Amino acid sequence: MGHPIVKLATSGVQALRPYAPGKPLTELEREYGIVDAVKLASNENPLGPSPQVLQALRSGFDDLARYPDGNGFTLKAALAGKHTVAADCITLGNGSNDVLELVARAFLSPGSSAVFSAHAFAVYPLVTQAIGAQANVAAAHDGSTGPRYGHNLDAMLKAIDADTRVVFIANPNNPTGTWLDSAALRAFVDAVPQNIIVVIDEAYFEYVSEPDYPDTMAWLPDFPNLLVTRTFSKAYGLASLRVGYGVSRSGLADVLNRVRQPFNVNSLAQAGAVAALEDEDHLHKSVRANQAGMQQLVDGVQALGLSYIPSVGNFLPVDIGRDSGEVYEELLREGVIVRPVDNYGMPGYLRISIGLPEENQRFLQALDKVLAA
């Protein structure tokens, strides 16, 4: 039974379960006495941040007693230049999931609804339920007319009702790695009434090289209800700094900034993000490393006779063919942390983040050993 204090919370919060992050390396080493573990659980950049980022962070140490720029002027200017938008079209977040929460706080309420796909990013149901809004969860593709577990846009359109205020779309989606092409997604956004906010979550945008994958920021002039979110946590390697952003028309950004917490992005995160944007060579190096690591994992799991969902992110969902929780626990004992995704309605799957070549190989060897036991 929960503590009695839980009954004082709102009904939506009472039913929530906290987001469960990937197990930290320190926790594994403490529990199992392992000193050389590898973590392939949280879709982090194994190359880490750009050297220019580290230099920018060191330069900021002397001002730690000062509050950050609450408007994020320098970072917004850098993002505005990169995306050819006005600075007042940008909303900064403590990670892009912070921007997702701003959307829920600004546009959802008890009695309203949000639409998103089954097997989509866990933050969508969390922010919806916390507000007390209704979650209209659309069934994903079953593999007959689209990629299995991928967003079914027809089903999502049918899930929109008179109370819908927000639609969340992850492209590509976590944890499935599936994606939507430009024509299909554009047709969907065209079909959504403009009194409904459409959020396209592009946390893994930089990794995608498919020719018909859309850059939806180019659509912003046509849709006052469109918000595109991106992050510095993945390809830019700044996960610990927690910095992301949304880009929209200025009117939508103005609403989001009304509920944004003061100083939600700290000074070091802002400086690191600006430096990361400037070092395009490091970004390209990170993307190339991800492509090579993805191929290494795909070849390895195929050699083990396992199936997987083709992914355009920096992770690979692998069908273990048995209880993924048990395999996860056995891999922990081998010093390898991955991510079971039963909580996403994908029993039997593990999500493997792309690591360094030696980390990928360590996982494949450990998985071979566990499956053979």
**Rounded alpha-carbon distances, angstroms, from residue 232 to 96, 224, 246:** 8, 25, 12
Whether 1 shows a pLDDT value over 60: the answer reads no
Considering the domain architecture, whether residues 351 and 249 belong to the same structural domain is answered as no
Q: Write down the pLDDT at residue 30.
A: 77
Q: Write the pLDDT tens digit of every residue in 253-273.
A: 999 999 999 999 999 999 999
Q: Final residue of a domain: which of 279, 295, 311?
A: 279
Q: Write the pLDDT tens digit of every residue in 95-104.
A: 999 999 999 9
Considering the domain architecture, whether residues 31 and 74 belong to the same structural domain is answered as no
Considering the domain architecture, whether residues 24 and 91 belong to the same structural domain is answered as no
Q: Final residue of a domain: which of 253, 279, 305?
A: 279
Considering the domain architecture, whether residues 127 and 204 belong to the same structural domain is answered as yes
What's the domain count of the chain? 2
The CA-to-CA distance between both ends of the chain, in Å, stands at 38
Whether 357 shows a pLDDT value over 50: the answer reads yes
The CATH code of the domain that includes 300 is 3.90.1150.10
Considering the domain architecture, whether residues 209 and 225 belong to the same structural domain is answered as yes
Full domain range(s) for residue 296: 4-48+281-372
Give the integer Cα–Cα distance in Å for 225 and 223.
5
Considering the domain architecture, whether residues 80 and 41 belong to the same structural domain is answered as no
Q: What is the mean pLDDT of residues 296-305?
A: 98
Answer whether 269's CB lies under 8 Å from 57's CB. Answer: no
Q: How confident is the model at residue 32 (pLDDT cuts 50, 70, 90)?
A: confident
The CATH code of the domain that includes 87 is 3.40.640.10
Considering the domain architecture, whether residues 195 and 238 belong to the same structural domain is answered as yes
Considering the domain architecture, whether residues 272 and 289 belong to the same structural domain is answered as no
Considering the domain architecture, whether residues 126 and 176 belong to the same structural domain is answered as yes
Considering the domain architecture, whether residues 355 and 249 belong to the same structural domain is answered as no
Considering the domain architecture, whether residues 316 and 170 belong to the same structural domain is answered as no
Considering the domain architecture, whether residues 215 and 97 belong to the same structural domain is answered as yes
Q: Write the pLDDT tens digit of every residue in 55-105.
A: 999 999 989 999 999 999 999 999 999 999 999 999 999 999 999 999 999
Q: What is the mean pLDDT of residues 271-290?
A: 98
Q: Final residue of a domain: which of 260, 279, 298?
A: 279
Q: Which long-range contacts (CB under 8 A, 24 or more apart) does 304-311 make?
A: 304/364, 304/367, 304/368, 304/371, 309/147, 309/148, 309/149, 309/176, 309/177, 309/178, 309/349, 310/147, 310/177, 310/178, 311/172, 311/176, 311/177, 311/178
